[in-house]
Chain A
Amino acid sequence: MHDMNPSVKFIVITASMLVIAFFFNPWTPLIFWLGIILLQLTMSRTKWKLWLLFMLPFSIGAFGYLWTTIVFGAETGGAIIWSFAGIDVTEEQWARALSLAFRVMAFSTLSLLFAFTTDPVRFIMSLMQQLKLPPKLAYGVMVGYQFLPVMKDEFTQIQQAQRLRGAETKKYSWQQLLSMRRILIPMLAGAVRKAERSAFAMEARGFTGEPRSAFYHPIQIDRTDWLMSGIFLILLLTSCIGGSWLG
């Protein structure tokens, strides 16, 4: 998984999601979800503790999805399987709710699979080399990525400095959103300055935004990519056909 070309992986994963989105039976996302976990178990070096930590909010989200779909689900026919607090749940609704919840789980797992097995820098370089992303944008993104820790630090520093002056932290989200301006303005003003300096430094070293003729770290598409794409396709077909048949 780690050796797969990031662009190919990106396309395969996005395409799988779009296909799965067509199915509303609970089995298709379930089979797909289990399949992805199996893939990750066998073909990646994942830190599972961290993985569980990341999965937690998604599981909560999936649960939220489950019950809202039951309560606010579209009117459907079919036998009522159980009632609760005056809400009748039909077989059809239950199936759909499960389907959406599993879908959230499947998509989240798939996303984590990508996040855990892809090096960010290789991903951008591959987008530029395989998918012809213009270098101006690719390196623009790289600069942003380099600045992330610096700016996070700046964010805390501004917050601390302003707290010292008695700009109290607000309790409600909407108040926080309004008071964000105070932090945002110095951050953005700093970003404008940094952007110009970085851009000048790059141009002073001959960067013009023209496509490049050779790369120091070429990122290739090789047999692994075909193999992995094949495995994904088989998994996708199995879950679509199997799911429809079971549903």
Chain B
Amino acid sequence: MPEKVFSLTGLSFRFPEEEEKTLTDLSFSVLRGERLVLTGPSGCGKSTLLYLLNRLYPDNCDGLVDGEMELFGKPANDYVPGEINHRIATVFQDPDSQFCMPTVEEELAFTLENLQTPFAQMEPRITAVLERTGLAQLRNTIIQSLSGGTKQRVATACALIMDPEVLLLDEPLSHLDPFTAKQFVHWLEELQQASNLTIVAVEHRLDIWGSFFGREIQLGCDGRITADQNFTPRHPFTFLKRPSAAQPATALCAKELSVTIKDKPLLAPLAFSVRRGEVVIIAGPNGSGKSTLIKSLCGIFEKTTGTVESDRIGYVPQSPEYLFLTQSVQQEVAFSGASTQTELDGLMASLRLEEIREAHPFAVSHGQKRRVAIAAMLADKRPVLLMDEPTSGQDAAALLELFDLIDQRSKEGASFLIVTHDMEFAAGVADSLLLIKDGKMTGKFQAYEVWCNEELLAMHHLLAPKGVARPAESFA
């Protein structure tokens, strides 16, 4: 019988600001070498549980704990701060806020200094972990210049340099595109097999993990365990293909559009048009000019050449709160003054904003923020909507909500241009795909043309959506 790494008995947890318990009566143990995933709807306390396991909580939030928790057979409270963290290492979800030093080497050294490692051992340990993780060539690279996927690898290397017995993963894929995410999982699997680490992860994008996990614990909305079972690989969440709502009338027509900033050509001249009610997905590798295209269409970036003839264009950034100017949802929607009260009431009703009418636009959920932003754009009579990465970091429920929103609005004549890497989502929602690579438009295609064109997909770092006109492939 392998040793128990974690052992929880009747564990409950409550934030001091809240009346309700976030976690209620959890009892389970984790054995050495297990690969466990915690699942459940957003806000069910998965991450909170993870933070209890690595002792970030309760100290950091003054939370209230009931019940017993043992780490390596010793009560959790008997460990002094920091003592447990080199045995239980953690990789978090946001690749941009996990580092405090400029270069990879310095970041690794920071970790070793935390552990009071003697000077003579530092250099060999850094070299060893870089070898092990295959990051040796990045040793002196500036971390902030790396891509999201590579940053997550560096964060993992920083965790592994401590020689931990357990690795906790807090939605490590949520900010990566599917292509990069799949590579990351593959890389992690090789590392895990070589070292027999115990892994506990919180994750909602289970399909990308293939058969990585061995066990699954499901939490319900009330913070109780609803299932503790063997893990079964998941198929990605697929969306029903919505019928096209495109009308004959043209909503947007770009000709010879190009953007050059500070003598750097970001976008070579391109031309395309979009019909009313059409949903266009803009896809391509990172840094290929997708955001530049969107920003030049809505006038944030100046066009160097070309013309855009269009109905008025609205823009919803990846963080919708960047748009917010007022202190209540209602004022936010009414801000432009371009719609009558009846029109506003209609919009509020159809976008389900009435119950949060008085709320602060920053204090509502991410999905609600996006609805507020879209309502504000429509109220400002901007029926062509540009959305920058709306799918990034969203769980299935949120994606479904987004899907319905687009479906609904396009039926009423709004056109959408959406930047996303999520091809399952695209397969459901798109009428057409606009593919970009290295600042050049490859072309605007009918969606079904792209799904069966291997070459086109690979060239733009896209994974074919599962379940669309092709047999489901096994996990590589």
Contact = CB atoms under 8 A, between A and B. Distances in A.
Taking residues whose C-beta sits less than 8 angstroms from the other chain, chain A's interface range is 35 or more
Contact of A214 (B100, B113, B143): B113
A7 to B, nearest CB: 18
B113 A212 contact: yes
A212 B114 CA distance: 7
B92 interface: yes
Interface string A80-93: 00000000000000
A244 interface: no
B191 interface: no
Contact of A165 (B102, B115, B323): B323
Contact of A186 (B106, B117, B324, B336): B324
B384 to A, nearest CB: 13
Given A164-B300, A214-B116, A203 B56 contact: yes
Contact of A142 (B100, B109, B299, B362): B100
A224 interface: no
Interface in A209-247: 210, 212-218
Given A197-B92, A207-B114, A218-B119, 18 more contacts: A121-B102, A142-B100, A146-B102, A161-B315, A164-B299, A165-B380, A166-B335, A194-B97, A199-B60, A200-B51, A200-B60, A204-B85, A205-B159, A206-B82, A208-B81, A208-B82, A212-B116, A216-B106
* Chain B CB within 10 A, most for which of A198, A200, A218: A200
A146 B114 CA distance: 19
A21 interface: no
Interface in B90-141: 90, 92, 94, 96-102, 106, 109-119, 122-123
B111 A162 contact: no
Given A146-B99, A205-B159, A207-B82, A189 B362 contact: yes
A143 interface: yes
Interface in A58-83: none
B86 interface: yes
B144 interface: yes
B317 interface: yes
Contacts of B168: 204
Contact of B97 (A161, A201, A218): A201
A11 interface: no
Contact of B144 (A121, A146, A201, A204): A146
Interface in A157-213: 157-158, 160-167, 182, 185-186, 189-190, 194, 197-208, 210, 212-213
Given A164-B299, A189-B321, A204 B56 contact: yes
Contact of B54 (A121, A194, A204): A204
A181 to B, nearest CB: 10
B155 interface: yes
A199 B298 CA distance: 37
A216 B112 contact: yes
A142 B99 CA distance: 9
Contacts of A158: 322
Given A205-B162, A208-B114, A212-B114, A162 B325 contact: yes
Interface of B: 51, 54, 56, 60, 81-82, 85-86, 89-90, 92, 94, 96-102, 106, 109-119, 122-123, 143-144, 155, 158-159, 162, 168, 295, 298-300, 315, 317, 319, 321-325, 335-336, 362, 376, 380
A206 B380 contact: no
A218 B119 CA distance: 9
A164 B315 contact: yes
30 contacts: A139-B110, A142-B101, A146-B99, A146-B100, A149-B144, A160-B300, A161-B323, A162-B323, A164-B315, A165-B336, A166-B335, A186-B324, A197-B94, A198-B97, A199-B60, A200-B51, A203-B60, A204-B85, A204-B92, A205-B89, A205-B110, A206-B86, A206-B114, A208-B82, A208-B114, A212-B113, A214-B117, A214-B118, A216-B109, A217-B109
B102 A157 contact: no
Contacts of A167: 325
5 shortest A-B CB distances, which residue pairs?
A: A216-B109, A208-B82, A204-B90, A206-B114, A201-B98
Contact of A182 (B298, B317, B325): B325
A198 B94 CA distance: 9
Nearest to A148: B144
Contacts of A186: 319, 321-322, 324, 362
* Chain A CB within 10 A, most for which of B111, B114, B123: B114
A143 B100 contact: yes
Contacts of A218: 119
A150 interface: yes
Nearest to A185: B362
Contact of B119 (A165, A206, A214): A214
A203 B85 contact: yes
A164 B298 contact: yes
Contacts of A147: 97
Nearest to A210: B82
A206 B112 CA distance: 9
Nearest to B82: A208
Given A150-B144, A182-B325, A213-B116, A205 B336 contact: no
A215 B113 contact: yes
Contact of B322 (A139, A162, A216, A217): A162
A192 B56 CA distance: 17
Contacts of A146: 99-102, 143-144
Given A146-B102, A161-B315, A162-B325, A205 B158 contact: yes
A188 to B, nearest CB: 10
A20 B315 CA distance: 56
A167 B325 CA distance: 8
A179 to B, nearest CB: 9
* Chain B CB within 10 A, most for which of A210, A216, A217: A216
Contacts of B298: 164
B237 to A, nearest CB: 27
B11 to A, nearest CB: 20
* Chain B CB within 10 A, most for which of A143, A162, A204, A210: A204
A206 B100 contact: no
B122 A202 contact: no
A215 B81 CA distance: 21
Given A164-B299, A215-B119, A201 B335 contact: no
Nearest to B332: A165
A201 B155 contact: yes
A165 B382 CA distance: 10
A157 B94 contact: no
